[in-house]
Amino acid sequence: MNMPTKTDDINTPDDAALARMTENMAKVEALGARLTQIMVGREGHQSSLDAPNQELFSKAAQAYWAEAVHNPAKLIENQVSFWSKSVTHFVEAQQALAKGKLQAPEDKTAKDRRFANPLWETHPYFNFVKRQYMINSEALSEAVNSVSDLEPREKQRLGYFSRQIIDMMSPTNFLATNPDALERAVATEGESLIKGLENLISDLEANNGEMIVRLADEKAFELGRNIATAPGKVVFRNRMFELIQYSPSTEKVHATPVVIFPPWINKFYILDLKEQNSLVKWIVDQGHTLFIVSWVNPDSSYRDVGMGDYIEDGFLTAIEEVKKITDQPQVNAVGYCIAGTTLSLTLSLLKQRGDTSVKSATLFTALTDFSDQGEFQPFLTDDFIDGIEAETKDKGILPSIIMARTFSFLRSNDLVYGPAIKSYMLGDTPPAFDLLYWNGDGANLPERMAMEYLRGLCQQNKLAEGGFDLLGHHLELGDIDVPICAVGCETDHIAPWKDSYRGVQMMGSKDKTFIMTQSGHIAGIVNPPSKGKYGHYTNPDMSLAHEDWLEGAEFHQGSWWPRWGKWLANHAGAQVDARIPGANGREILCDAPGTYVTRKANG
């Protein structure tokens, strides 16, 4: 009888498990070869869209060394601090190992959800790697902050790209320094790595070789079945959009119909994800005849479509069709994000034409004053916009994957690296999450429209500063005189509420309401009363600067929807019999959510 040795107590793989792992590693190598083929044949994009030009880093280096010459003590202090922390860290790790125990020294670093695995604190190897990363990150951030001889916008841009480097170099992003991934690989005998590579290859194939991490399980959703399910009919279609009229849920409705213009950067069904949080259903339940525009997902044949086409063949055509269908002289219009910006242009145009088709306008997270470009500033400099211009000239469109990648890297740990680790290292299937499914269902932008918007509105801020020339008119915010209700979101990083507020201040309307809701660009808008989650602020005095407006604002618990609902009802007219789609003889083209919404950006 053989006595067990000490090593028999260690949980090590047996020969059969090692054989299976070897077999799986061979599969990994085969998948690696397939991955190489994809990358070799990838379509690619303008390299200038990947990083700033060298001028930014050259200026930063010059400013850094100029600072060192004029204030060498500061540079020495930062360097000595970095050296001291690194050496102290090394000594502490050595002392812990010298005690003969496989343990890390006491770890007093701040909590970070990326390092949730206990091994980051207890295992000397992983703890050393983590703590040195934190020291390096702090040193790089301090170096950037110490640069003083740079334009504010250049320093903001330098700060953004340095944070991208810091986030990218996190040890959690590499297999050899990620204990979660290593433990999963051993526990599954390498199967997790195979699934991870399969997930990576699938994402690359879906995006023509571009690495866009799939955030949701696309197989879990089907438009019209378990997402975008509000009943309605497509009652009009042209080259720009399908018009959906929703079926009423009340016997009586307000006379004046409501038409929503969603952003064409994404799909309209963010407002109809599911019954519990559907703004579409809620508006219908309040007794309104509701229409929504479902924009076409353009391909290269739309390269010459500009902002003017979106207004003439989109906004104005939709408004006229809604008026015809309902036999009403006016509509209440809603614009979300870029569609709110364009609705503002449309209102100025209608004023100059003497057209009173719009009775009131509601703007969701809409920018009309782009003087403060916020977190998008790093992407609105000439080198990046020049790259976009070259990309659109080459392809006829600004591909949705370029925009998706840009938006994602504003929250890189949450929307890029975290999901990539779960999908590619751990081999997990993305979650069945409707919001993330919508987030990944992007749309392209036509070449002309994209450049008019980026150059004329975002970069040059023409609408707020002197006026924007379009369709033979000089459009200005002061022209807008219809009742306005604008909704901004407190933590919106795409359309900061203070900038939305400032643009509304410039409008000529005497009847203005501004609501600031808690949360961000999506969750702040899609906030049904049933959740009781986010509150909102109001202040009738819109003559104040934004900080003073907020200081004097009243906070209200719960969703802003009912407050807006009362405002909308005041502009919606008397009660009439509910309107059934097609009842007036209008041809029904298909059921909601229509056909345009199903077109994939890369399909």
Q: What percent of the chain has pLDDT over 70?
A: 89
Preceding amide of 248 cis, omega within 30: no
Question: What's the mean pLDDT in 29-56?
Answer: 67
Is the pLDDT at 585 greater than 70, yes or no? yes
Residue-level pLDDT at 50: 61
* 115 band by pLDDT with thresholds 50, 70 and 90: very high
Look at phi and psi of residue 427 and say left if phi exceeds 0, alpha if psi is from -120 to 50, else beta.
left
Active site residue 337: yes
Residue-level pLDDT at 602: 57
Residue-level pLDDT at 97: 73
Mean pLDDT for all residues in the chain: 88
Q: What is the value of pTM for the model shown? A: 0.87
Which one is predicted more confidently, 148 or 131? 131
* 492 band by pLDDT with thresholds 50, 70 and 90: very high
User: Which of the following CATH numbers is that of domain 232-379+398-406+439-598: 3.40.50.1820, 3.40.50.410, 3.30.70.270, 3.20.20.150?
Assistant: 3.40.50.1820
Closest Cα to residue 291, out of 249, 329, 321?
Answer: 321
* 430 band by pLDDT with thresholds 50, 70 and 90: very high
Express each pLDDT in 323-360 by its tens digit: 999 999 999 999 999 999 999 999 999 999 999 999 99
Report how far Cα 415 is from the mean position of its chain's Cα atoms.
9
Residue-level pLDDT at 543: 96
d(CA 84, CA 32): 42
Q: What percent of the chain has pLDDT over 90?
A: 65
* 41 band by pLDDT with thresholds 50, 70 and 90: low
Express each pLDDT in 162-180 by its tens digit: 888 899 999 999 999 999 9
Residue 293's H or E segment, with its range, is strand 290-295
Is the pLDDT at 546 greater than 70, yes or no? yes
Residue-level pLDDT at 13: 57
Contact indicator for 286, 246 with CB cutoff of 8 Å = no
Q: CB atoms < 10 A from the CB of 472, how many? A: 8
Closest Cα to residue 411, out of 386, 443, 436, 432?
Answer: 436
Q: What is the CA radius of gyration of the chain?
A: 28
Query: The dihedral of CA 217, 219, 220, 223: what is its sign?
Result: positive
Residue-level pLDDT at 415: 87
DSSP-derived secondary structure letter, 553: P
Burial class of residue 66 in the structure, from the number of CB atoms within 10 Å of its CB (0-12 exposed, 13-18 middle, 19+ buried): middle
Contact indicator for 436, 220 with CB cutoff of 8 Å = no
Is the pLDDT at 399 greater than 50, yes or no? yes
Closest Cα to residue 266, out of 511, 471, 522?
Answer: 522
Residue 566's H or E segment, with its range, is helix 561-569
Is the pLDDT at 522 greater than 70, yes or no? yes
Which one is predicted more confidently, 143 or 361? 361
58-67, 369-378, 381-390, range with greatest mean pLDDT: 381-390
Which one is predicted more confidently, 331 or 408? 331
Query: Token pair for residue 265?
Result: 């950067």
Question: What's the mean pLDDT in 372-396?
Answer: 85
d(CA 200, CA 424): 6
Taking CA atoms, 548 is separated from 368, 439, 498, in Å, by 20, 34, 11
Query: Token pair for residue 191?
Result: 């199967």
Q: CB atoms < 10 A from the CB of 254, how many? A: 21
Closest Cα to residue 504, out of 480, 539, 523?
Answer: 480
* 136 band by pLDDT with thresholds 50, 70 and 90: very high
Strands 241-246 and 290-295: antiparallel
Question: What's the mean pLDDT in 462-491?
Answer: 97
Three-state secondary-structure class, residue 406? helix
Three-state secondary-structure class, residue 428? coil
Which one is predicted more confidently, 32 or 183? 183
Express each pLDDT in 256-313 by its tens digit: 999 999 999 999 999 999 999 999 999 999 999 999 999 999 999 999 999 999 999 9
Stretch among 36-45, 93-102, 184-193 having the lowest mean pLDDT: 36-45
Residue-level pLDDT at 452: 97
Burial class of residue 382 in the structure, from the number of CB atoms within 10 Å of its CB (0-12 exposed, 13-18 middle, 19+ buried): exposed
Contact indicator for 602, 207 with CB cutoff of 8 Å = yes
Enumerate the CATH 3.40.50.1820 domain ranges in the chain, comma separated.
232-379+398-406+439-598
Query: The dihedral of CA 337, 339, 341, 343: what is its sign?
Result: negative
Residue 244's H or E segment, with its range, is strand 241-246
Contact indicator for 342, 310 with CB cutoff of 8 Å = yes
Contact indicator for 418, 172 with CB cutoff of 8 Å = no
Stretch among 91-105, 182-196, 460-474 having the lowest mean pLDDT: 91-105
Residue-level pLDDT at 7: 39
d(CA 419, CA 397): 27
Is the pLDDT at 189 greater than 90, yes or no? no
Amino acid identity, residue 237?
Answer: R
